């Protein structure tokens, strides 16, 4: 064997990457955002939030039942520094913790689907709490899903306490970290109570909060009362927040990507500032669901290339601020899990992953976020497994270049029986749903069923066989008691 000394002074790639913007362009977006926050400001519809901002030195102009808050740059930049640059999305079981660091990429589902394609009947119908639980069970099974966002906005219970039902359905079916909308300060307190029961009490909850609140500024440039009260309550309870702006180019933001990024950035930073001024060090995930409005159809497009471009730009802004980020990718405007869905989902998930977003969400999503599909969830996950393999890049190490093996085999030899092959073959990608056989073997194995049909069949098998990590004793009963109490309260209010 040839002896080789260690290399020194060479540049090594640890995988593929993408910079859509230069450092100067990212700074330009930051400075433009500071200008908007200083000169235009944010409409704030919470008296408590107005007092918090005013007490920190922001300029507050009260107009009727709301206020316009304008921020000196130092407040914005101080609060960005106070937010943790890394965090852990704690699972109900520690084995499911997801460590968030720069360029560490994971995936999740979209969170606002109101319809579902039934995997048995293939009918499109309104989503239910049971459907949400089943989708969560699938996410628990799939290694590609790092954390679980509420996959469907099920509406079969009282709207004011639907988040409590959503959390109950989800936490019963997964031990991964959960993202969902809380919708009120009261829900925030009750959700914390439910989550504490699932992790063994308040002490464990404070050390390892197993859920994050998605909070949504209203475009353009508004923090409504409900958004503010959830941010404040979460900060006080030690729950992380993910401010997720949803600007639409040409309608709630300028008809340019750069202008939309500025509006989006101003909205998200204003929410982060409120959290940090309430409780310094509150975990904040920089989040996005911003895209273009197709003015020909007057529908927001989640499959358009602009969606992926915005995700990459916002990822770079989050990295500039050294904040964890959560951006869209994997969505489609198609109504079925067809070729359009595959192309759109792959395109936008790929650019967001190459940009190094921490969580890319949209798995299983169809019809611009309206419809969830179990088959697409599985097909997306298979594609993401291959994408993760691609992101590793090419290993140019001495064992990988294998010159000694090539020398041993020589011209006309074979590598299949070499120990080096046995040691490295498992590092190669493997297809499961995707098929790499020749046609005859494919027909024998699948009976000629296409990918979508096989995905539906696999989904039903997983739903029937997979069992999540069980809840601790008494948690299910306590959660139901919380829901019953809240149901009784709203009926008498």
What is the rounded CA–CA span in Å between residue 299 and residue 316? 27
Centre a 10 Å sphere on the Cβ of residue 166 and count the other Cβ atoms it contains: 28
Please report, for residues 125, 260, 364, the alpha-carbon distance to residue 336 in angstroms, rounded to integers and kept in the order given.
Answer: 14, 29, 11
Residue owning tokens 């206020």: 67
Average model confidence (pLDDT) across the chain: 94
pLDDT digits (tens, 9 = 90+) for 332-357: 999 999 999 999 999 999 999 999 99
Q: Distance between terminal CA atoms of the chain?
A: 81
Which of 64-73, 135-144, 287-296, 322-331 shows the lowest per-residue confidence on average (mean pLDDT)? 287-296
pLDDT digits (tens, 9 = 90+) for 447-469: 999 999 999 999 999 999 999 99
Give the pLDDT of residue 6. Answer: 47
- pLDDT over 60 (residue 229): yes
77 Cβ contact partners less than 8 Å away, ≥ 6 residues apart: none
pLDDT digits (tens, 9 = 90+) for 147-162: 999 999 878 888 899 9
- Going by the DSSP 8-state scheme, the letter that residue 143 receives in this structure is T
What is the rounded CA–CA span in Å between residue 338 and residue 344? 10
Q: pLDDT over 70 for what percent of the chain?
A: 97
- pLDDT over 50 (residue 365): yes
Of 335, 243, 353, 323, residue with least CA distance to 289 = 243
Q: pLDDT over 90 for what percent of the chain?
A: 86
Across 243-267, average pLDDT? 96
Q: What is the pTM of this model?
A: 0.94
- Going by the DSSP 8-state scheme, the letter that residue 468 receives in this structure is P
Domains of the chain: 23-77 (no CATH), 79-391 (3.20.20.480), 398-427 (no CATH)
345 Cβ contact partners less than 8 Å away, ≥ 6 residues apart: 303, 329, 330, 331, 332, 362, 365, 376, 380, 383
């Amino acid at each position: 064997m040839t002896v080789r000394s260690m290399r020194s002074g060479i540049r090594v790639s640890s995988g593929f990457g993408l910079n859509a913007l230069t450092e100067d362009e990212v700074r330009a977006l930051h400075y433009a955002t500071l200008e908007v926050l200083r000169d235009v400001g944010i409409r704030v519809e919470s008296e408590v939030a107005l007092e918090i901002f005013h007490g920190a030195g922001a300029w507050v102009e009260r107009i009727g039942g709301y206020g316009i808050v304008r921020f000196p740059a130092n407040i914005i930049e101080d609060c960005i520094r106070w937010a943790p640059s890394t965090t852990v999305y704690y699972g109900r079981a520690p084995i499911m913790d997801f460590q968030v660091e720069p360029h560490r990429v994971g995936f999740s589902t979209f969170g606002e689907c109101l319809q579902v394609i039934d995997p048995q009947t293939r009918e499109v119908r309104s989503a239910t709490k049971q459907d949400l639980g089943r989708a969560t069970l699938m996410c628990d099974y799939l290694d590609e899903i790092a954390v679980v966002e509420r996959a469907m906005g099920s509406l079969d219970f009282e709207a004011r306490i639907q988040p409590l039902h959503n959390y109950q359905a989800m936490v019963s079916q997964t031990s991964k970290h959960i993202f969902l909308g809380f919708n009120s300060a009261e829900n925030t307190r009750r959700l914390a109570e439910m989550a504490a029961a699932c992790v063994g009490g308040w002490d464990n909850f404070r050390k390892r909060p197993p859920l994050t609140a998605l909070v949504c500024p209203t475009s353009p440039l508004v923090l409504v009362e409900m958004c503010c009260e959830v941010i404040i309550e979460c900060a006080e309870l030690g729950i992380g927040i993910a401010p997720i702006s949803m600007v639409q180019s040409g309608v709630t933001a300028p008809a340019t990507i750069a202008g939309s990024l500025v509006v989006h950035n101003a909205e998200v930073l204003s929410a982060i500032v409120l959290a940090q001024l309430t409780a310094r060090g509150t975990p904040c995930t920089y989040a996005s669901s911003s895209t273009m409005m197709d003015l020909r159809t007057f529908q927001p497009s989640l499959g358009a290339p602009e969606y992926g471009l915005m995700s990459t730009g916002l990822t770079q802004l989050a990295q500039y601020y050294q904040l964890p980020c959560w951006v869209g990718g994997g969505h489609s405007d198609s109504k079925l899990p067809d070729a359009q869905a595959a192309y759109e989902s792959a395109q936008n998930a790929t650019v967001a992953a190459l940009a190094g977003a921490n969580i890319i969400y949209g798995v299983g999503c169809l019809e611009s976020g309206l419809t969830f599909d179990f088959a697409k969830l599985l097909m997306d996950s298979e594609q993401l497994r291959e994408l993760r393999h691609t992101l590793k890049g090419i290993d140019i190490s001495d064992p990988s270049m294998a010159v000694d093996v090539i020398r041993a085999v020589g011209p006309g030899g074979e590598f299949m029986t070499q120990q080096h092959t046995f040691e490295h073959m498992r590092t190669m990608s493997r297809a499961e749903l995707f098929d790499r056989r020749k046609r005859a073997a494919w027909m024998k194995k699948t009976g000629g069923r296409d990918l979508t049909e096989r995905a539906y069949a696999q989904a039903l098998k997983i739903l029937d066989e997979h069992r999540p990590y069980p809840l601790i004793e008494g948690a299910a009963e306590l959660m139901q008691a919380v829901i019953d109490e809240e149901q009784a309260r709203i009926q008498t209010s």
